[in-house]
């Protein structure tokens, strides 16, 4: 799923830097999700997962802009999954 999303960014003309940033942030989130829930399937992301991930990032002492960028990447892939019909709503 992640590779399809990243390909869609490339096709839509996003910069290599944007794609690399999103890829890194989403890989980090999915790794955390696997540890937290035993699943790293993007189709199983919930709003609770996003809230817990925010707290996790804040507990690590990351700057607010870094936290917001990470959450923006999660929002963006979820929006894409809704648009593509994989999800019925954006968690």
User: Could you report the per-residue pLDDT of 33-63, keeping only the tens digit for each?
Assistant: 999 999 989 999 999 999 999 999 999 999 9
pLDDT of residue 91: 87
pLDDT of residue 61: 96
CB 43 within 8 A of CB 49: no
Alpha-helical runs (H) found in 1-91:
2-11, 16-37, 47-59, 64-83
How wide is the angle at C-alpha 85 spanned by C-alphas 39 and 5, nearest 5°? Answer: 60
CB 75 within 8 A of CB 90: yes
Number of C-beta neighbours around residue 80 at 10 A:
19
Residue range 5-14, pLDDT digits in tens: 999 999 999 9
Q: What is the Cα–Cα distance from 85 to 55, expressed in whole angstroms?
A: 29
């Amino acid at each position: 799923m992640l590779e399809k999303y990243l390909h869609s960014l490339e096709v839509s003309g996003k910069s290599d830097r944007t794609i690399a940033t999103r890829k890194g942030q989403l890989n980090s989130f999915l790794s955390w999700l696997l540890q937290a829930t035993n699943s790293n399937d993007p189709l199983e992301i919930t709003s609770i997962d996003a809230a817990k991930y925010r707290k996790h990032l804040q507990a690590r002492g990351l700057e607010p802009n870094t936290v917001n960028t990470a959450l923006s990447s999660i929002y963006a892939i979820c929006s894409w999954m809704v648009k593509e019909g994989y999800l019925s709503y954006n968690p």
